[in-house]
Amino acid sequence: MRLLVRHRLRRTRREGYVERSEILEAEEISVGRGSDAVLHLSDGRVLLHHATIALQNGVLCVTAEPNADIELNGVPTKVAELSTGHTVTVGPYDLVCGDAHPECDAAVEIELARPMGDAETTLRDRVRTPLLKRRLSGWKIGGAIALVLLMVGLSVPLSSFLVTRDTPKPAPALVNATVSNDSDIFRMAETMWVTERLSDVHGKLEAGCQACHTTAFAAVADNTCVDCHNTLTAHVDPHASFSANVDQSGGCATCHQEHTGPKGIHPGVQVTETGCIACHNGNIDPGDGSALARVASIADHPPMTLPTPSPNGLVFSHASHLAPQGKRRPDGKRQVLGCVDCHQSANAARDMTMPSFKNGCASCHTMAFAAEDPSQRLPHGPVSQLRSFLLGFYEAVERGEIVAPELAVPTRRRRPGQSAEPVAATPPAPLPARTRTEQALSGPAVKGQCATCHALEESVTPAEWDIANVDFVHDWLSSARFDHKDHLKDAKCGTCHAVGKSEKATDVAMPSMGTCLECHGSADDFPDVASTCVTCHAYHGSTQQGAGLERHPAFAQDKPDQPNFTQLADLLREGKL
Amino acid sequence: MAVAPMHDGFLVHKRFRYGWLALLLVGFVAAAFFYRDRLEGINVDLVFGYGLGGLALAIMLLLTWFGVRKRSYAKGAGPLKGWLSAHVYLGIALIFLVPMHGGFVIEPDIHGLAYVLVLITAFTGVLGIAFYGLYPRRVAANRDGLTFDDMVKRMAEVDIEIRGLSPKLSEAANDVVRGEVANLRIGGGVRMLFVKPRNRSRHAQMALHRLAIDNDAARRAEALLERKADVVDRLQRDIQMRSRLRVWLLLHVPLSLAALAVVISHGVGMLVFGLGSV
C-alpha cells in the first residue's frame, strides 16, 4: 500500500499547520519509535513496535502490538478501522485519517497532541544525583591535593640545602656537640624525613640534617664524621707496611651505618667477623716482630694472654675468707663474707677494685697490739713508721701517761689435792721503752700481725725484717671491653672466678677463654649473646670508650707515629691515603 | 577451529599476559628479598632502595598515565583494554613490591605516608576491580535498553495519564495520587550509596490498593502507579550503582595522585639527602 503521511510540525498563526509530507510504501506499515519502523514516531512514550497500519478489504486498519495500547476516538482498542476524520491515539500522537490522495491508497495527518509538559520538568527536579555531577572531578581534587603535598614534601629536602641556617655546626668535639631545640620548625619538618630512627646522639645535633648531610645529592663523607670524632685513633698505622691490606674503601660507613635505630651507629652484631679475620689470620707481620694472632672464628679464639702475676707480697687465702661458717670479727661474732664485701666495681664496671687496707681489711684486722691500751692501733705502714710509733707509745707508758687497766689477780691453777691459794703478786720490773719497742717489733704483736697478711723479707734495718713489696695486676683484660654489670645479670662472681678453693694470693682467678665461650659465640650457636670481634674488642683506640685497643701493646696511643683521627682527616683531605 | 570469544574481560586479556608479567616481577623481587643475605657482589640496600624504588615509581607513573590514555580510546600504543589489564595487574604487584622496598617497616614520617598512600590506593584499586566487574553489567541489565531520559519520560507519561484520570477518582484515591506526585524523591546524597531509598510511588500504589475501590479508574491508576514504581526502582538502582562507581573514582584518583606526590617528594628527598650513601 501507499500511504501519504503529513506530519503536522507546529501550528501557524493562521489556524494552519507547518507540515512535512512523505509517502510510505509497504505491504504493512509498522509504526514505532524504533528506527526500523516504517512510520517513525520519535517520542519516548511510543513503543519500539507500537502498531501496524494496513489495508484490509480497502479499509485502513491500525492494529496495536500485544503490549501496546491505542485508542480510536478516545476509546481503548486493539484494532482500529479508520474512515475519514477518525482519530487514532498512539502514545502522545494523534493520527487523523484524511481524504485519500489520488496517487495513494490512504492519507493520515500526524500531530504530537500531548507534548511532555510540566510533568517531565517536575520529575526532573525530583531526581537528585549530586555524586554524578560533572564538576566533581577526581583529577581536579587529586591534583589540588597532590600539588599541596608536593610543595610541602619537597620544601624540606630543598630548604635543607638552599636555606642557610644560622645555627652553627657542632663544635669539633663530641663532648661539645650542641643539642637541638625541638621547637625549631626546621627540625620538626626534618624529623618527618628521617628514615627509620637516628642514633640517640646524632638525632640531637642542633644543625639538624645539615650536621652530616653537608652537600646535596652526595653521600655523607668520612671527613664529616672525623670533624667531630677527632679523638679516635686509627686501628693501624696508615704508614705501616701492611696498612694497605686494611680495607678502607667504604670508610666510616663500612661499619657505622646511621638511621638504623638509637644504638645503630655503634657496630655490634651487624659487623661481621670477616673484616677482622682478613688481617688477623696469622700471616701479617705488623713490623714489630709479633705476628697478628690467628683467629678463624670466635669459637677458635686463641687463649687470653693474661699478664703474668709477679709474687705480690701478700699472704692471702680466698678460701679461708670465704669459709661458709664465716670469719670471726673483733667483736667475737662470725660474719660470712661475700665478694662485694671487699671488691667494688670500677671503671664503669669493667674492673673490680682491690680492697685497700683501710676500707677492707681493717674492719676485721684491727691491728691492736698492746695490753696497756687495746684501743691503740698500729699504723698500716713500713717498719720504720712502726718503730717510731711504738717508741712513742712505750715512752708514754714509761711516763705513766698510759696506764694499763687493772688486771684480774692471777691465780695459780689448783692441782688436785691442793688448795687454790692466791699467788703473791710480784709486778715485773718495768723495762726501758726502747727495749720494749724492739721486743714488740720482733714479737707476735707486731711482726706476727704483719706476717698474717704480708710476706716478710730479711732486711738490713735494725729490725732485720721488712714487709715485701705489694704489687697487684690492675688490668687483666687490656685488649677487651668488659662489663661486670651486664654479666652479673645472668651469672654470679663464682661463675667465672673460681676463688672458693684458692689458698694463695698468687692464684690467678681469671676465667679462661673457654669460660667465655660457654655463653659467647656465633649468632648461629648463641642467638641470645651473638658475639663478634667487636663485642669485646674496640676497633678504634678511643679515650671515650674506656677500654679497647688503645691499651693494646701493639697499638698503644703513645706510639709517636700513630696519628689520631684529626691527623687522619688531614691525610684524607690531602688525598694521601 | 576454535572461535575466539567475542568479548574477553580485561582480566583475561591476552591470556593473562600482564598477570603473568606482574607475577613474574613480584616472584623475582620476592626471591631476591628473601635471599638478600646470600646475594654477593651487589649492594642489597642500593638495589632494594634506589632500584626497586625507581621501578615502583615507574610503575606508578604508568598506572597514572592510564587516566590520560583512557580519555583517548583509539589513540596511543596498544588497545585500551590492554592498558587496563596492565593497570590492574601492575597495581596489584605494587602491593607486594612496596613493602619489600620499605623492608616491611612503617614509621610515622613522610616515607611511611608514601608507603601507606600507595597501599591504600592499590587496595581501593582491588575494590575497583570488583566494582567494575559487577556494576556496568548490572547497570545495563537494570536499564533494559532505556536511557535515563527514557525512564524519566516514562514516569512523566504515567503522571500525565494519572492527571487525566483524576476527575474519575474518589477523593481518597485522588489524595493518594496527588500526594505521590508531590512527594516523589529520586536519588540523593551519600546515604543512598549504602541504603536503598524509599520508593514513594510503591507506597502510593499500596495505599491505593488498600483503599480497595472497585472501579476502572482506580484500577487503572493503581496499575499506572505500579508501572511508575518499577521505573522508580530502576532509576534509584541506576543512580545508586553509578554513584558508587563515581565515588570509587573520586577516591581512587585523588588517592593515587596524592600517593604519587608524596612518593616523588620521598624519592627526591632520598636523592638529595644521600645519593649512594647506603
pLDDT, one tens digit per residue, over A248-284 is 555 777 777 787 776 656 655 456 666 677 777 777 6
Give the residue-averaged pLDDT of A291-319.
Answer: 80
Tell me: do B132 and B262 sit in the same domain: yes
pLDDT at position A568 is: 52
Amino acid letter, residue A453:
C
Which chain A residues are Cβ-neighbours of B239 within 8 angstroms?
Answer: 127, 129, 132
Amino acid letter, residue A344:
Q
Separation in Å, CA B272 to CA A158, A197, A533, B43, B103: 8, 18, 35, 20, 21
User: Is A87 a domain residue?
Assistant: yes
A142–B277: do the CB atoms touch at under 8 Å? no
Tell me: do B195 and B67 sit in the same domain: no
A150–B246: do the CB atoms touch at under 8 Å? no
Tell me: do B210 and B235 sit in the same domain: yes
With left for phi above 0 and alpha for psi between -120 and 50, is residue A289 left, alpha or beta? left
pLDDT at position B62 is: 94
Tell me: do B134 and B26 sit in the same domain: yes
pLDDT at position A265 is: 67
User: Is A345 a domain residue?
Assistant: no
- Grid cell, residue B234, equals 530502576
Tell me: do B138 and B161 sit in the same domain: no
Give the residue-averaged pLDDT of A307-318.
Answer: 84
* Distance (Å, whole) CA A114 – CA B157: 10
Tell me: do A93 and A154 sit in the same domain: no
Q: A242 by DSSP, 3-state: which?
A: coil
Separation in Å, CA A216 to CA A161, A209, A221: 7, 11, 12
Q: Which residues of chain B from 113 to 142 reach within 8 Å of chain A, CB to CB?
A: none
Tell me: do A87 and A167 sit in the same domain: no
Tell whether B109 is within 8 A of chain A (Cβ). Answer: yes
Tell me: do A195 and A98 sit in the same domain: no
User: Is B12 a domain residue?
Assistant: no
User: Is A44 a domain residue?
Assistant: yes
User: Is B5 a domain residue?
Assistant: no
User: Is B87 a domain residue?
Assistant: yes
Per-residue pLDDT 10s for chain B (278 aa) are 344 444 567 888 888 899 999 999 999 999 999 888 787 777 777 888 889 999 999 999 999 999 888 888 777 777 888 899 999 999 999 999 999 998 888 888 889 999 999 999 999 999 999 998 889 889 999 988 888 888 988 888 888 888 777 667 777 887 788 788 778 888 888 888 888 888 999 999 999 899 888 888 888 889 999 999 999 999 999 999 999 999 999 999 999 999 999 999 999 888 888 765 44
Between A330 and A296, where is the model more confident? A330
Q: A192, A257, A269: which to substitute to probe chain B, counting the most B Cβ within 10 Å?
A: A192
User: For residue A32, what is the enclosing H or E element?
Assistant: strand A29-32
Tell me: do A97 and A155 sit in the same domain: no
Tell whether A259 is within 8 A of chain B (Cβ). Answer: no
Tell me: do A112 and A151 sit in the same domain: no
Tell me: do A84 and A172 sit in the same domain: no
> Please, how many CA atoms are within 13 Å of residue B263, restricted to the half-sphere of its CB?
29
Model confidence band, residue A520 (pLDDT cutoffs 50, 70, 90): confident
Give the residue-averaged pLDDT of A110-133.
Answer: 81
Instruction: Kindly identify which residue of chain B lies nearest to residue A130, measuring between CA atoms.
Output: B189
Q: A299 by DSSP, 3-state: which?
A: helix
A480 near A551, Cβ under 8 Å?
Answer: no
Amino acid letter, residue A497:
H
Tell whether A58 is within 8 A of chain B (Cβ). Answer: no
Beta-carbon contacts of B194 under 8 Å, excluding residues fewer than 6 positions away, are: none
Tell me: do B186 and B103 sit in the same domain: no
User: Is A241 a domain residue?
Assistant: yes
The answer to whether residue A289 scores a pLDDT higher than 60 is: no
The answer to whether residue A562 scores a pLDDT higher than 60 is: no
Tell whether B235 is within 8 A of chain A (Cβ). Answer: yes
Model confidence band, residue A545 (pLDDT cutoffs 50, 70, 90): very low
Tell me: do B156 and B97 sit in the same domain: no
Amino acid letter, residue B73:
Y
Tell me: do A73 and A176 sit in the same domain: no
pLDDT at position A548 is: 36
Residue given cell 642557610 in the structure block: A164
A170 near A176, Cβ under 8 Å?
Answer: yes
pLDDT at position A250 is: 58
Give the residue-averaged pLDDT of A500-525.
Answer: 86
The answer to whether residue A178 scores a pLDDT higher than 70 is: no
Tell me: do B125 and B159 sit in the same domain: no
Q: How far is A145 from chain B (nearest CA, A)?
A: 6
What pTM was estimated for this model as a whole?
0.59
User: Is B93 a domain residue?
Assistant: yes
* A308-311 CB contacts, 8 Å cutoff, 24+ apart: A309/A473, A309/A506, A309/A508, A310/A471, A311/A455, A311/A468, A311/A506
User: Is A429 a domain residue?
Assistant: no
Q: How many domains does chain B have?
A: 2
pLDDT at position A575 is: 53
pLDDT at position A221 is: 79
Tell me: do A35 and A98 sit in the same domain: yes
Last residue of a domain, one of A97, A116, A135: A116
A131–B262: do the CB atoms touch at under 8 Å? no
Q: pLDDT tens digits, residue range A135-176?
A: 888 899 999 999 999 998 888 888 777 765 554 444 443 333
pLDDT at position A143 is: 94
pLDDT at position A544 is: 35
- Grid cell, residue B156, equals 512523566
Q: How far is A509 from chain B (nearest CA, A)?
A: 42
Q: pLDDT tens digits, residue range A497-510?
A: 988 888 888 888 88
Tell me: do B196 and B235 sit in the same domain: yes
Model confidence band, residue A225 (pLDDT cutoffs 50, 70, 90): confident
The answer to whether residue A550 scores a pLDDT higher than 60 is: no
Which chain A residues are Cβ-neighbours of B153 within 8 angstroms?
Answer: 44-45, 116, 120
Instruction: Kindly identify which residue of chain A lies nearest to residue B154, measuring between CA atoms.
Output: A45
Domain of A16, in residue numbers: 2-116
Amino acid letter, residue A448:
G
User: Is A350 a domain residue?
Assistant: no
DSSP state of B108: S
Last residue of a domain, one of A116, A132, A156: A116
Tell whether B277 is within 8 A of chain A (Cβ). Answer: yes
Q: How many domains does chain A have?
A: 2
Instruction: Kindly identify which residue of chain B lies nearest to residue A210, measuring between CA atoms.
Output: B273
Give the residue-averaged pLDDT of A528-546.
Answer: 66
Tell whether A114 is within 8 A of chain B (Cβ). Answer: yes
Give the residue-averaged pLDDT of A233-262.
Answer: 64
Domain of B190, in residue numbers: 148-242
Tell me: do A152 and A261 sit in the same domain: yes
Tell me: do A168 and A70 sit in the same domain: no
The answer to whether residue A566 scores a pLDDT higher than 60 is: no
User: For residue A570, what is the enclosing H or E element?
Assistant: helix A565-573
Beta-carbon contacts of B71 under 8 Å, excluding residues fewer than 6 positions away, are: none
Tell me: do B131 and B262 sit in the same domain: yes
* Distance (Å, whole) CA A241 – CA A261: 38
Q: B182 by DSSP, 3-state: which?
A: helix
User: Is B152 a domain residue?
Assistant: yes
Residue among B63, B117, B106 at smallest CA distance from B85: B63
* Distance (Å, whole) CA A149 – CA B184: 44
The enclosing domain of A6 has a CATH number of: 2.60.200.20
- Facing B253 at nearest CB: one of A130, A139, A197: A139
Tell me: do B31 and B63 sit in the same domain: yes
Phi and psi, residue B164, nearest 5°: -70, -30
pLDDT at position B238 is: 92
Tell me: do B153 and B28 sit in the same domain: no
B187 near B239, Cβ under 8 Å?
Answer: yes
Instruction: Kindly identify which residue of chain A lies nearest to residue B106, measuring between CA atoms.
Output: A196
The answer to whether residue A106 scores a pLDDT higher than 50 is: yes
ipTM of this predicted complex? 0.84
Lowest mean pLDDT, pick from A155-159, A324-328, A345-349, A550-554: A550-554
Q: pLDDT tens digits, residue range A425-473?
A: 565 667 888 888 888 888 888 889 999 999 988 888 777 888 888 888 8
Separation in Å, CA A249 to CA A245, A577, B41, B242: 11, 10, 15, 62
